[in-house]
């Protein structure tokens, strides 16, 4: 197993590498966090609520405006690929550019919406978000690029606009039909809080994430522990699409007996009154997850706001069971991680997070129990699955921001 807790690069070392690559410009340092969704999974495309928080792992960038009509990008995570150059205007997707398509897509979307950069741009990226773990490295680099461009060129966009434009870059330029949650959390995160986001309306509010354990006799300081199953999302795209299709079929069946735009606008009582209209058992299970998960998410936020972290943890467990049994996006490795976590002393709650079919669990663990949690879950997971887990002990974070004018 591996444990990663350090979440900060050496700004001075990055500055030296920036000067070596791009010359003696005076760059500014920016940061955009990854995110973890605490509860509210597979509700976003059904008009429901999600509850993510930004985390202390993320992506940094040194960025500076430069004369001319060229964008130059380099990532210390892909040093072997060197500097990627692209035209400032009218840039098109090019698979040969690999990772650089994500920031370039943002630059193109800004241009398409009347926010073209007035000159060239040099950016050096470095991140510690594990690739493929479901912690939204693509959203972080998109939001980071948008935030840096907004600052350096005085575009005057707010955080919600930066999130929406970053999502558009992934949808239209990259071609991945993601929802808004990842970019929104990276752009709009607030330390010691999570975001209740209504995906249908983009209404949102912050809720305090009281990792001091909340009120009551069980109160103890807690940490967020992300556990990576190290199983790649091999079935994700096709299986997600099938589940969305079943939800759409359920919605169409319900619409025959009740006017409805989204599954998640139904309360549990309303769903129970119309569920017999759903014509297949599979569509019924998928729809039931969406409705119950949306209800759980709203209850979970109320629990946090009343200081009951342990009630929140119980709802996390219910969420995982629904994702396992009704939505069926867990896999044996994710189930093993959740079940092992539930059995550990000091675990407030644990569930899979992200799309499923691989990726991570998120656990709230009493701080004094974190070391034992990592040891026991890691060893037991290896015995049960033959795989090694990776652990990320993290804090909440503010959203994308400028860190310094000059390192």
Catalytic residue annotation: 182
Tokens (6 digits) for 137: 């490295």
Element (H, E) at 207: strand 203-208
Strands 390-394 and 222-228: antiparallel
DSSP 88: S
79 to 165, 233, 313: CA distances (angstroms): 28, 25, 41
Q: Indicate the SS3 state at residue 404.
A: strand
Non-local (6+) Cβ contacts of 129 within 8 A are 34, 57, 58, 59, 135, 136, 137, 140
Rounded to 5°, the CA angle 77-180-158 comes to: 85
Non-local (6+) Cβ contacts of 285 within 8 A are 325, 326, 327, 328
Tokens (6 digits) for 70: 């060229």
> Within the chain, what is the greatest distance between any pair of CA atoms?
68
DSSP 323: H
Give just the sign of the alpha carbon dihedral 61, 67, 73, 75: negative
Non-local (6+) Cβ contacts of 331 within 8 A are 229, 231, 356, 357, 358
CA 249, CA 246: separation in Å to the nearest integer?
5
E strand spans, 40-108 = 49-66, 70-75, 84-87
Tokens (6 digits) for 37: 């969704």
Tokens (6 digits) for 264: 């998640």
């Amino acid at each position: 197993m591996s444990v990663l807790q350090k979440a900060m690069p050496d700004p001075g070392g990055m500055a030296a590498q920036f000067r070596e690559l791009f010359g003696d410009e005076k760059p500014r340092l920016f940061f955009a966090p990854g995110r973890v969704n605490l509860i509210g999974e597979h509700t976003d495309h059904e008009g429901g609520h999600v509850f993510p928080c930004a985390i202390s792992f993320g992506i940094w960038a040194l960025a500076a405006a430069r004369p001319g009509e060229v964008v130059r990008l380099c990532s210390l995570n892909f040093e072997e690929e060197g500097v990627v150059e692209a035209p400032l205007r009218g840039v098109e997707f090019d698979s040969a550019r690999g990772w650089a398509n994500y920031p370039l897509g943002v630059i193109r979307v800004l241009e398409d919406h009347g926010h073209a950069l007035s000159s060239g741009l040099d950016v050096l990226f470095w991140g510690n978000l594990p690739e493929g773990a479901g912690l939204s490295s693509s959203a972080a680099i998109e939001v980071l690029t948008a935030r840096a461009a907004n600052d350096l060129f005085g575009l005057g966009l707010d955080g919600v606009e930066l999130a929406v434009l970053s999502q558009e870059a992934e949808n239209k330029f990259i071609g991945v039909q993601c929802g808004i949650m990842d970019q929104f959390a990276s752009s709009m995160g607030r330390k010691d809080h999570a975001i209740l986001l209504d995906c249908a309306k983009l209404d949102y509010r912050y809720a305090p994430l009281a990792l001091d354990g909340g009120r009551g006799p069980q109160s103890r300081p807690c940490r967020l522990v992300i556990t990576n199953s190290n199983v790649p999302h091999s079935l994700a795209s096709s299986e997600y699409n099938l589940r969305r299709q079943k939800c759409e079929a359920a919605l169409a069946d319900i619409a025959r007996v009740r006017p409805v735009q989204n599954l998640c606008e139904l309360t549990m009582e309303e769903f129970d009154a119309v569920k017999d209209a759903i014509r297949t058992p599979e569509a019924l299970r998928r729809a039931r997850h969406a409705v119950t998960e949306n209800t759980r998410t709203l209850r979970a936020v109320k629990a946090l706001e009343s200081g009951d972290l342990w009630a929140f943890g119980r709802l996390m467990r219910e969420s995982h069971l629904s994702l396992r049994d009704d939505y069926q996006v867990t896999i044996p490795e994710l189930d093993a991680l959740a079940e092992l976590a539930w059995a550990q002393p000091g675990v407030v709650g644990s569930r899979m997070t992200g799309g499923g079919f691989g990726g991570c669990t998120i656990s709230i663990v009493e701080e004094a129990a974190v070391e034992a949690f990592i040891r026991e879950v890691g060893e037991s997971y290896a015995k049960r699955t033959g795989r090694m887990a990776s652990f990320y002990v993290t804090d909440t974070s503010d959203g994308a921001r400028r860190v310094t004018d000059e390192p």
